[in-house]
A = this chain, B = another copy of it.
Amino acid sequence: MLNVKEIRKDFPMCVKQDAGNGKVYLDNAATTFKPYSVIEAVTRYYTDESVNIHRGDYDLSYQVSDEYEQTRKTVARFLNCEEREVIFTSGASASLNLFAYGWAQKFLKKGDVILSSEAEHASNILPLMKAAELTGATIEYIPLTEEGELTIEAFKGAMHDKVKLVSIAHISNVLGFVHPIKELTKITHEYGAIISVDGAQSVPHIKTDVKDWDIDFLSFSAHKMLGPTGVGVLFGKYALLDQMDAFMLGGGNNARFDICGNIQLKNPPFKFEAGTPAIEAVLGLKAAILYLEKVGMDEIEAYEHELKTYAVSQLKDLKNVILYNPHAGTGIITFNVEGIFAQDTAIYLNSKGLMVRAGNHCAKILVEVIKTSETVRASVSFYNTKEEVDRLVDALRTITLEQCIDLSIM
């Protein structure tokens, strides 16, 4: 069982809260706090090894290049894939764009179908919309349940021979449902299609095993899993990466080129990594993964689910609160207060020290499913406590529209 009290000592932001600054952070789906070990990995780069990588001309450069590649090893172990299947990008959005450009734009053609869902993040669906527009492919949406969940039955019903690409989030950032990726992948492959998984909300919160699931691509960001911003990963099966086009060209991704325009690109993953990467952020990502592994992904999942269940059980009793996803399995709680606009609720909660997010959470087309244009999202991490959930519940118990207005005009 996970020891939250001890864990909180590893996070400077939590240490400050516990020292009494009165704040409660419940916007973990947007980004997470960083443990000291990650901060140290980043600053160690600045203070001890502030040089560029990918060259062996001097010891320090060789050493940093090696540490950079060690992160790739660590990521590969964490995902259960090969090292050469791990591409470092500048974030999940960049990973998803690279995939859409390098694979979807290249291999889709008129008449092909991309199967996706209405709960996708803009960073997943927009690049696909563009790929569809450019190739003449079309996007079809798997119907979701009333609560916004994607079921295997609905998926089977939506799947057909023209589908060449399935692209969905493993966990939706709005509603927090865990989709049955392994089953979806099996069905996808039976139809000869490939599957690209948006793991931005799943990799930080549940155990990933790309080999067991047999998925073809996976995108995620370091900053949502205790790591620095500015770095993300695209995993792809090597054979697929090998066929894929590079999104960016430049220093580092070409082995040789000449004046006639003959370019010889390196092999994956280097082919996709052009220019100086986010070196210290990559080193920080390694520290983040080591921290997550130490706590244990299964423990993290169980505890976050416990927190969520606890929150739901409390919030259910408040008559003024509308809960949209009581049954979702992860730490995302999506709600509204009757008669109060989501943003006003968020600002009221802010006045109580509670940090949550109002919005459509970049899944703007979802409104047509859950039938509300804006929601409040509280999202927990394993460093959150039941007492913090209580703070949220207490604040929501007494919220009024008048108070919300007063906060802005006084």
Please name all residues of chain B whose beta carbon is closer than 8 Å to the beta carbon of A275 when the two chains form the complex: 90-94, 123, 221
> Given the interface contacts A250-B96, A274-B123, does A129 sit within 8 Å of B356 by beta carbon?
no
List A87-131 residues whose CB lies under 8 Å from chain B.
Answer: 90-94, 96-97, 118, 121-127, 129-130
> Given the interface contacts A251-B362, A364-B256, does A55 sit within 8 Å of B229 by beta carbon?
no
Please name all residues of chain B whose beta carbon is closer than 8 Å to the beta carbon of A254 when the two chains form the complex: 122, 126, 364
User: Contact string, A29-70, partner B, CB cutoff 8 A, digits 1/0?
Assistant: 011111000110011001110111001011111000000000
User: For the complex, is A346 an interface residue (Cβ under 8 Å from B)?
Assistant: yes
A281 to B347, CA, bound (A): 28
Contact assessment for A278 and B276 in the assembled complex, using a CB-CB cutoff below 8 Å: no
User: For the complex, is A231 an interface residue (Cβ under 8 Å from B)?
Assistant: yes
A290 to B221, CA, bound (A): 29
Contact assessment for B368 and A259 in the assembled complex, using a CB-CB cutoff below 8 Å: yes
List A216-247 residues whose CB lies under 8 Å from chain B.
Answer: 221, 223, 228-231, 247
A122 to B280, CA, bound (A): 23
User: For the complex, is A293 an interface residue (Cβ under 8 Å from B)?
Assistant: no
Please name all residues of chain B whose beta carbon is closer than 8 Å to the beta carbon of A123 when the two chains form the complex: 249-251, 274-275
Contact assessment for B31 and A52 in the assembled complex, using a CB-CB cutoff below 8 Å: yes
Please name all residues of chain B whose beta carbon is closer than 8 Å to the beta carbon of A161 when the two chains form the complex: none
The 6 closest A-B pairs by CB, nearest first: A93-B275, A230-B278, A123-B250, A230-B230, A126-B249, A90-B90
Contact assessment for A274 and B93 in the assembled complex, using a CB-CB cutoff below 8 Å: yes
Q: Please give the count of copies of this chain that the complex contains.
A: 2
Query: What total of chain A residues lie within 8 Å of the partner, measured CB to CB?
Result: 90
Please name all residues of chain B whose beta carbon is closer than 8 Å to the beta carbon of A259 when the two chains form the complex: 118, 141, 365, 368
Please name all residues of chain B whose beta carbon is closer than 8 Å to the beta carbon of A141 when the two chains form the complex: 259
Q: Which of B32, B51, B223 is close to A25, meaning CB atoms less than 8 Å apart?
A: B51
Contact assessment for A356 and B57 in the assembled complex, using a CB-CB cutoff below 8 Å: yes
A251 to chain B, nearest CB (A): 4
A to B CB contacts below 8 Å, 29 in the list: A12-B46, A30-B52, A32-B50, A33-B50, A34-B46, A34-B50, A51-B355, A52-B223, A57-B343, A57-B356, A58-B346, A60-B355, A90-B90, A90-B278, A93-B251, A93-B274, A93-B276, A97-B247, A123-B251, A126-B250, A126-B257, A132-B261, A141-B259, A229-B230, A229-B280, A230-B231, A254-B364, A257-B364, A257-B365
Contact assessment for B27 and A94 in the assembled complex, using a CB-CB cutoff below 8 Å: no
User: For the complex, is A133 an interface residue (Cβ under 8 Å from B)?
Assistant: yes
Contact assessment for A281 and B97 in the assembled complex, using a CB-CB cutoff below 8 Å: no
What residue in chain B is nearest A39 (Cβ atoms)?
B46
Contact assessment for B52 and A261 in the assembled complex, using a CB-CB cutoff below 8 Å: no
